[in-house]
Structure formats: structure tokens, C-alpha cells
Amino acid sequence: MTTKIFRKKIVCIGAGYVGGPTMTIIANNCPDYQVTVVDISEERINAWNSDQLPIFEPGLLERIQKTRGKNLFFSTDIDRCIEEADIIFVAVNTPTKTFGEGEGKAVDLQYIEQTARRIKKNAKSNKIVVEKSTIPVRAAETLANILHSGSNSVQFEILSNPEFMAEGTGVEDMEAPDRVLIGSKGTPSGIIARDTLMEIYLHWVPRERLVTTNLWSSELSKLVSNAFLAQRISSINTIAALCEVTEADVTEVSRAIGMDSRIGAKFLNAGPGFGGSCFRKDILNLVYLCEYYQLPEVAAFWEQVVALNDYQMERYVKRILQAMFNTLVGKKLAVFGFAFKPDTGDTRDAPAIYICKQLLEERADLNITDPHALDNARKELQGIEGEVSFVEDPYKAAEGAHGIALITEWNLYQELDYQKIYDSMEKPAFIFDGRNCLDHQALYEIGFNVYPLGKPPLNHL
């Protein structure tokens, strides 16, 4: 057997939603590089080495199967992989701090710091260290201070290469990215490191899509990008509230304003609030940074994006309560969709968590259904008081229910037989389409009392 000689060895520390998929795409496009993804979680690594991946992402399994064992590896042998690597990506989690200074806003950098210390301990030759995790602006400075502390003569060149993929479309986002951003120092060694990373992406990304900046601009652009996207959602959600009381229709308003090329059509879908592990966390990080640099007006502007998201989730629950005669006690509600968006099993910070907790607080009985997120839904609601069932089949979830709350716009919910569902429900039957993805007129004609979001209801009562 001959051992393949690779051009360079890459290791990625952190085998999560970012580390696993990003490295798979690199391995698929760069057969001349050896790519190893490492993690402290043996369970996660075992799952990446099986066909039951730890995350659901369309198209990912096929791509892993193409390269796993050839130039893509998953391992828990972190120290050896660090020692052997030329390029080290850091893709560990950077959650919001839940304690001490900056609690609830600042980033908890403990996993980044642990990673930096482990790199320093095991590196015996010069390395390029790439920040893939989303971190506060100027975090590279902290990383450099840790890596270069003490008497180690190894040189580390730090790059910022934030990830912009969205879950559910991760594979296509990474295979044809709008841009790849690389921040580096302007020193000769910084430029060499930057070009080394560019070489990898040039295997499949056109040169004009590679954007280079200084380190701080790159770090900040990642936070700002998420903040701008979330800001659009909160903006349209405020207009949804106004539409509901003025008989304007938020879908029509989105379409009308989105056709202005200066505004653009994307991220203007009103909903029950944005979720996911990053929007809230990254905006709060931005808010904390603004407060830290004594820019309270700027901090307050961005904090409002999060406040309005909370308001939107509350509003969705209030509308259900009011429509259903101001009491949910003992009423059964089918919850369609728990993942924070379709095509993922991820439920981190999903609006469904808050909404379900509020509905349970009102003493409704919940039948939660979702094609990929029921295991995570169970974990999210563990220990919460109330009647909750987790049901795979949406028809069963709706059986005997007084209402349906659609929270995640999985395609399959648009293809259901709503006549059959209506026939099996208590009357009057309600449906609260939090994503405006169903045919409201058809549902009304079947007999439902239909409550779209940001539009007047279609009500038989």
C-alpha cells in the first residue's frame, strides 16, 4: 500500500455545524490536502465517522462519503493532529456568557482560549491559525498573545476567515459562496499566510469572490453581516404588526419594497421571530462591544433588533390566545415545526422554544411535530411543566386538536391534506400560519379560522 503525499495538512478544531460541513467542502474540492476534523466529544466524532451524522444538512452525507477515509478524517486525537498540521482552523463554539462580567451579552471565550493553549502546547513547527468561529473584533490579538506567550519559538500567523453559510443550505452556500472573507495582518508573513489560505479556496471559488481585509475588519464584518440580516427580519416583523391592525398585507408590502433594487427582496419574510444559534448571540456581542467602547446610542440601536424579536414571539402567542377566546386551558394545539428553520434539525434558540413554553404556561396541551427536530425538541423542553407529546406524523398531531400553530415552514406542511386534518379536529378549528406558507383562502373554505401573520384573519366566527 502506498501512502498518499498531501500538499498540506489541515486540521479543524471543533466538529460542529460549521467544522464538519466546511471541512467536507474543502476536502471535496482539494484532493491534494489532508483534512482532519477533531473534537473533544467522542460521541460527535463517532457520529461523523458513521452514516448517522450528528447534524442534518441536505447534501452533506453524500459529500462526506465521497472523501471520508481518503483525504477527510474525523478524530479525537487532537494533540497529534495539531502537531502535524500546517493550517489549523478553529471552529469551536462561542456562546453568550451566562455568568460574570458581560453576562447575557459578551461572548464566552473559554473554548477559544482552551483551544489556543492546546495549539501552543502541541505545536512544534510554525502554523497558520484560522479563526472560523465567530468572535469579537480584536479577538485575534488575544489569540496571538496566548500563542506567542512564554519561550516557545514557534511562529503563529493568525487569519480571520468567518463562515457565512446558513443551515439547511450550508452545502450550496459553501460550494458557491457570495464571498469568502479573509482578514490578515499586512506584514510580509501575514500576506504569505493569507495567500496560503486563498490557494485552498481558489480550488473552487472564483478569485473575484475572495475578499481580503485587515484582521479587525474581517472579524467585525461577520458580526455586522448577521446584525444586518437580523435587522431586516425585525424591521419587517414590526410592519407585520402594523399590517394586522390596518388590513394591509405584509407579503404584499415585502414584495413591493423588495422590488426596489436598493432594498432587495431577500430576508423580508415576516415570521414568528428569528432563531438559530447565532443571530441573537452575535447581535448581543455587537451590543456588548459598543457598550465596552462607550457608544451607548449605537448599542441601543442594535439591542432593539433583539427586543423586537422577543416582542414578535410574544405577539404570536397573544394572537393565538385572543383568537381562541382568551383561554387555552385544556385545549390541544398541534405545533407544526420546531426547528429554527426548515431543512435542519437544529433547535438552538428556535422561536418554537419560547412559543411552546408560553403556550404551556397558558396550560394548553401540545402535540409537537417536526420531520427532523423531535429529538432536540424533547431536550429543549425537558423539565418544563405541562402536557407535551412529540409526534412524528402531522396528521396524528392534529387529531382532536383545537388549533394548529405552524412555526417552521417545512415543505411537507404545504402538501398535507388539510380537509382530512380539519375533519379530525375539534371545532371551531383554528390555524395560525406563522410563516404565511399555506393557501389561506383554501383553508378558510375548508372551514378553518385562519390567522396568517401580518394579514387580517379569515374568520368564520
- What does the binding site for ligand UGA look like in residue numbers (CB under 6 A)? 134, 163-167, 226, 229, 233, 267-269, 271, 274-276, 278-279, 340-341
Question: Where does this chain touch ligand NAD (CB under 6 A) — which range of 107-115, 381-389, 426-434, 435-443?
Answer: 107-115
Compute the half-sphere exposure of residue 225: CA atoms within 13 Å on the CB side of its CA.
Answer: 17
Residues 6+ apart with CB under 8 A from 415: none
Q: Which of 81, 243, 278, 437 is catalytic?
A: 278
Binding partner of residue 156 among ligand NAD, ligand UGA, none, CB under 5 to 8 Å per kind? none
Interacting residue with ligand NAD among 14, 183, 272, 345 (CB under 6 A): 14
Q: Which residue is nearest to ligand NAD (CB)?
A: 16
Q: Please tell me the distance from the alpha carbon of residue 105 to that of residue 102, in angstroms, as a whole number.
A: 6
Residue with cell string 450528528: 54
Name the minimum Å distance from CB 460 to ligand UGA.
Answer: 29
* Relative orientation angle of helices 110-122 and 139-147, to the nearest 10 degrees: 30
Interacting residue with ligand NAD among 24, 28, 67, 93 (CB under 6 A): 93
DSSP string, 329-351: TT-EEEEE--SSSTT----TT-H
Nearer Cβ to ligand NAD, position 14 or 434? 14
Interacting residue with ligand NAD among 28, 29, 96, 115 (CB under 6 A): 115
Name the minimum Å distance from CB 227 to ligand NAD.
Answer: 13
Name the minimum Å distance from CB 112 to ligand UGA.
Answer: 16
Residue type, 251: T
- DSSP H/E element including 221: helix 215-246
Name which of 371, 451, 446, 443 is nearest 412 in CA terms.
371
Task: Establish whether 278 is a catalytic residue.
Answer: yes
Interacting residue with ligand NAD among 11, 81, 91, 198 (CB under 6 A): 91
Name the minimum Å distance from CB 307 to ligand NAD.
Answer: 21
Residue 442 grid cell: 383554501
Q: Please tell me the distance from the alpha carbon of residue 32 to that of residue 17, in angstroms, as a whole number.
A: 24
Name which of 433, 389, 431, 429 is nearest 410 in CA terms.
433
Can you give the binding site for ligand NAD, defined by CB under 6 A? 13-19, 39-41, 44, 78, 91-94, 111, 114-115, 133-134, 163, 165, 167, 277-278
Catalytic residues: 278
